[in-house]
Amino acid sequence: MIKPVGTDTLHPLFVYDSDAHDALSHEAESLPSLLISSQAAGNAVMMGAGYFNPLTGFMSVADAMGAAEKMTLTDGSFFPVPVMCLVESTDAIGDAKRIALRDPNVEGNPVLAVMDVDAIEEVSDEQMQVMTERVYRTTDPEHPGVAAFNSQGRLAVSGAIQVLNFSYFITDFPDTFRTAVEIRNEIQERGWHKIVAFQTRNPMHLAHEELCHMAMDRLGCDGLVIHMLLGKLKPGDIPAPVRDAAIRKMVELYFPPNSAMVTGYGFDMLYAGPREAVLHAYFRQNMGATHFIIGRDHAGVGDYYGAFDAQSIFEDEVPPGALDIEIFKADHTAWSKKLNRVVMMREAPDHSKEDFILLSGTKVREMLGRGEAPPKEFSRPEVAQILIDYYQSLN
């Protein structure tokens, strides 16, 4: 199986030993505590689950700046984005060296992790601007990722963490949320050797389904991991339980047995386009995938990124040898009226736009809201019905 990033074996930060977990949970209740941001909570979950291997905790400002500017930490290791615990005030912890981090996304704000504090540093406006510009390629406050990153405060609390739970993900999505450890174990149990991962924050229409089949066929993969983002999205995105039901129905009906896993991970979407594509590849290697599909405008939002910037960054900016996972570069896929099947648009140079069945997201949402299924060339009817039921429930 493919090795994790930077180590021979995975080092998740969740405390799995039950006695140690009980002792740490008891200790945490007496520690000074910080209520952290949703983004920091997502980072803690990802570290606990092994996806951010080999990070041991939240980055210092120097490491965060290195990650932002050149994807390299002060010790020379590779990481594509800052992983920070930014807060507005540290009055609640004073100069304590061991603290509890509390979850903002669960009622009662339970302890999510215990941290050994290395440093509390003030992040300057200039440093925040540099990190924002390098990671998001814009400082526009209308960009949802920029807005979330810059709303967290300017005090960076860094240090190693031990994770005690996986926030709301394991309770709200018990059939879907999986750690990198669990996915690696299941890949081994299924006997897969070459595995392609597909990222989604939306339901999968026919073009997405066919793209996965194309990637599996062309790469000779024996397994597909459909890996859903379960964290916070932007307003208007379809809720995770609806996406989950739609994707599971598609896999049940249109994929052979033991060829696809439907899983999810707990993280808030950054909408950082190219830089987030590298992060996505990073943690897919940690969960055991050998290949990762990156299509047009991967992890983008609005018009901030070029259509294929998320592919070119791997050649132009990622340090050579930083990742072992291979990228399957995809174009937009759509139904060809000429060929009577789904194709990658770049592989049909004799086609005009009118030769494809293309529907905007707005158009699809309007149809579903009226109880109309999109054409069968666009969406499987069984999948469309789940989405129709959801949109009609909003009326």
CATH code of the domain covering residue 281: 3.40.50.620
Chosen domain end from 130, 146, 170: 170
The pLDDT tens digits for 227-266 are 998 887 666 778 888 989 999 999 999 999 999 999 999 9
* Domains in the chain, number: 2
Question: Amino acid letter at 205?
Answer: H
Q: Which domain holds residue 351?
A: 176-393
Whichever domain contains 109, its CATH number is 3.10.400.10
Return left, alpha or beta for 138; rule: phi > 0 is left, psi -120 to 50 is alpha, else beta. beta
Average pLDDT score over the chain: 95
Chosen domain end from 170, 188, 216: 170
Residues 193 and 74 in one domain: no
Residues 189 and 129 in one domain: no
For the purposes of burial, counting CB atoms within 10 Å of the CB of 9, is it exposed (0-12), middle (13-18) or buried (19 or more)?
exposed
Could you tell me whether strands 111-122 and 155-163 are parallel, antiparallel, or unpaired per DSSP bridges? antiparallel
Residue 73 is assigned to a structural domain of this protein: yes
Alpha-carbon span 108 to 302, nearest angstrom: 35
Residues 222 and 160 in one domain: no
For the purposes of burial, counting CB atoms within 10 Å of the CB of 332, is it exposed (0-12), middle (13-18) or buried (19 or more)?
middle
Residue 9 is assigned to a structural domain of this protein: no
Alpha-carbon span 248 to 20, nearest angstrom: 36
Q: Mean pLDDT across the stretch 116-141? A: 98
Residues 370 and 288 in one domain: yes
Residues 104 and 220 in one domain: no
Alpha-carbon span 248 to 263, nearest angstrom: 10
pLDDT given for residue 18 in this prediction: 97
Residue 13 is assigned to a structural domain of this protein: no
pLDDT band of 286, cuts 50, 70, 90: very high
Q: Mean pLDDT across the stretch 210-230? A: 96
Percent of the chain with pLDDT over 90: 88
Residue 8 is assigned to a structural domain of this protein: no
What residues does 336 pair with on adjacent strands?
341, 356
Kindly state the tokens that stand for 283.
Answer: 């943690």
pLDDT given for residue 222 in this prediction: 95
The pLDDT tens digits for 317-338 are 999 999 999 999 999 899 999 9
Q: Mean pLDDT across the stretch 191-203? A: 94
Residue 329 is assigned to a structural domain of this protein: yes
Residues 216 and 364 in one domain: yes
Residue 56 is assigned to a structural domain of this protein: yes
pLDDT given for residue 233 in this prediction: 65
Residue 7 is assigned to a structural domain of this protein: no
Residues 201 and 150 in one domain: no
Residues 165 and 186 in one domain: no
Chosen domain end from 124, 148, 170: 170
Residue 2 is assigned to a structural domain of this protein: no
Residues 198 and 258 in one domain: yes
pLDDT given for residue 381 in this prediction: 94
Residues 85 and 226 in one domain: no
Q: Mean pLDDT across the stretch 176-190? A: 97
- For the ranges 59-63, 64-68, 237-241, the lowest mean pLDDT is seen at 237-241
Q: Give the active site residues.
A: 201-202
Residues 190 and 160 in one domain: no
For the purposes of burial, counting CB atoms within 10 Å of the CB of 335, is it exposed (0-12), middle (13-18) or buried (19 or more)?
buried
Tell whether pTM > 0.85: yes
CA distances from 236 to 12, 123, 306 (A): 33, 32, 23
pLDDT given for residue 201 in this prediction: 83
Residues 193 and 316 in one domain: yes
pLDDT band of 305, cuts 50, 70, 90: very high
